[in-house]
Amino acid sequence: MFVPENVFKHEVNEISAKTNYNDRLTSHPNIVKRTEELQTEIAKFSNWGTTLNFEEQTFQEVRDICRFEYIQNHIYSGESIDALYGIYIMENKYPNSRFLRNCKSQIWLDYIYKEKVDEFSFDFDFYNDYEDKGIYDYEGQISVLARTLLKLPSQAKLAMGLRIIKDNFKKDTTDRFANQLWDKAIEFAAFNDEFEFDQFSKNTFQEAIDQLAKEKKENDSIKAIKGTTNQNWDKYQTIKNQKSGFTIDAGIDSTKFYLYGISDLISDSTFKKRLDYFTNRYKEKEQESDELFEMTDDEIDAYYQEEYDEKLHLDMDTVLMVNPLVYEIERYQTLNYKKSDKLEDVVIASVNKVAAEMRINVIQLDRSNQQKMTADDYNNLAQLMRSLERRVLFNGAKSFILDLEQLDSLRKIYGTNKLMLLEYSHEYDSGITLGSGLLGTLIFPIGMVYFPIAILSGHHTHWNVYVLNLETGELIIDQNYESDDLANKKFIELRLNALFHQLKQEKND
């Protein structure tokens, strides 16, 4: 893809490098204080000697590993510009790295998904804030990349994403994961209102220039023969040419370079066939939506109730469960850590009891089993948690597939394709204040009624249930429940019994 040089011509934001900033309200001392403290500690050793504990090559290898990890961490956290900048630097040393290649494709797949606009993209508003840094939040050379990407029009990002992901796949067509990324890119392009197939050129930028020169020469010859000085196109042809960045009078509009960047795809029947497949699926969804709006209110309620019930029916007989998140919250939204730990033990014990009664095999990766966990178990747990966190925070993250290979390997290790996380919080606030307490005491009959109601109704519990399909990477369950239950074993077991009962059922045909 030809990209004009002026696309990258931006000023570099200076690196502020502040070191002696006010740290009174920060969690760590500023750089100056840290440096002084370090120098003090160094001065305590009079003879350092000349022995090297680690050779420079070892240091370089560890540093490269950290840089690879830096890239991956920023992709998981949605900081695509930071990750891309790291990839471009590391590609200088590792030009054939499969990891870097697929990381780059994942980033551009996110861009394609962010730019798509359709009524089925319920998390579109969230994705608008996905890259939460602005142009002036980057300092140094990375600010040039930031300005370039943040100022690109949506259609340019879409075309560049298709170009990059396709080229990465072509570098190794035996890479199944790269093929998945490419297929997902076509799917998002089909759902994208910005992708108008006929608007893109079948010619490269240079071919378009050559064609323009040829047509201009032929046009000049016709003018000379007819003795005319100008040939006017009708207004419809003019509008069409301006939209495509092509006019005989003005030449080719280089700001619309992206219209010529996927000419091989536009001419590829295989690409067009796959694009049509996803387009037809999109139309089917539109038709289903239209049919839903034609239903009565009762029919719509019944439809959503059936959909809700069926969603929880997973035919689940084995599940991998990570440590539940349990919170005991007191007045003024204060977290009581000791009570939270005790409540966590109750939740874990209740899960084991209810699951055993339901004959559901629960494979645990939680703190109750930490003495038996190996280093691999802890690493696996970290992978599972950040994969789950990515999808929960980004409303399913339909475009994120970078971790599919790791998740599939974990599925084989633990023998199940379902990963569950439970989040449980309990809050108690009777609402009885000093004023209401005095009033209830003074007015005896009112106090007899007021106090018991206030005490019993002060409990509030909240459940979040997440189930991740380790085979597809899809967040198949994301449900929350609220009630006024007490935080005790009886009520916790009742809620878990109802939940597991539904999860164990099969879906209806």
- Residues 446, 449, 452, 455, Cα dihedral to 10°: -60
Does residue 186 lie in a domain region? no
Asked if residue 325 and residue 373 are part of one domain, the reply reads yes
Does residue 414 lie in a domain region? yes
Does residue 240 lie in a domain region? yes
Asked if residue 418 and residue 470 are part of one domain, the reply reads yes
Question: Domain tally for the chain?
Answer: 3
Asked if residue 464 and residue 431 are part of one domain, the reply reads yes
Asked if residue 168 and residue 132 are part of one domain, the reply reads yes
Does residue 78 lie in a domain region? yes
Asked if residue 279 and residue 309 are part of one domain, the reply reads no
Does residue 329 lie in a domain region? yes
Asked if residue 402 and residue 271 are part of one domain, the reply reads no
* CATH number for the domain that contains residue 485: 3.30.160
Does residue 442 lie in a domain region? yes
Tens of pLDDT, residue by residue over 132-186, are: 678 888 999 999 999 999 889 999 999 999 999 999 999 999 999 999 999 999 9
Q: Contact at 8 Å (CB) between 190 and 254?
A: no
Asked if residue 275 and residue 335 are part of one domain, the reply reads no
Which of 265, 292, 319 represents a domain boundary (last residue)?
292
Residue 330: CB atoms within 10 Å: 13
Which of 292, 323, 351 represents a domain boundary (last residue)?
292
Distance CA 265, CA 197 (A): 10
Distance CA 362, CA 378 (A): 18
Asked if residue 133 and residue 111 are part of one domain, the reply reads yes
Write out 232-255 in H/E/C secondary structure: CCCHHHHHHHHHCCEECCCEECHH
Does residue 194 lie in a domain region? no
List the domain range (segments joined by +) for residue 252: 199-292
Does residue 160 lie in a domain region? yes
Asked if residue 109 and residue 40 are part of one domain, the reply reads yes
Q: Which residue has the tokens 């309200």?
A: 25
CB burial readout 419-428, b (16+ within 10 A) else e: bbbbbbbbbe
Asked if residue 10 and residue 145 are part of one domain, the reply reads yes
Asked if residue 387 and residue 410 are part of one domain, the reply reads yes
Asked if residue 337 and residue 271 are part of one domain, the reply reads no
Per-residue pLDDT for the chain (509 aa), expressed as one digit of tens each?
Answer: 888 888 888 999 999 888 898 999 888 999 999 999 999 998 888 777 777 777 889 999 999 999 999 999 999 988 999 999 999 999 999 999 999 999 999 999 998 887 543 333 333 333 344 456 788 889 999 999 999 998 899 999 999 999 999 999 999 999 999 999 999 999 999 988 888 888 899 988 888 888 888 877 777 666 556 555 444 444 444 445 545 555 444 467 788 899 999 999 999 999 999 999 999 998 888 887 777 777 888 777 787 777 777 778 899 999 999 999 999 998 778 899 999 999 999 999 999 999 999 999 999 887 767 788 888 988 999 999 999 999 998 877 788 999 999 999 999 999 999 999 999 999 987 554 544 444 445 454 544 444 454 445 678 999 999 999 999 999 999 999 998 888 999 999 999 999 999 999 987 75
Write the CA distances from 243 to 2, 200, 211, 236, integer angstroms: 19, 10, 18, 11
Distance CA 467, CA 480 (A): 12
Distance CA 391, CA 402 (A): 12
DSSP strand pairing (318-322 vs 361-365): parallel
Which of 292, 326, 350 represents a domain boundary (last residue)?
292
At residue 320, what are phi and psi to the nearest 5 degrees? -95, 120
pLDDT the model gives residue 223: 58
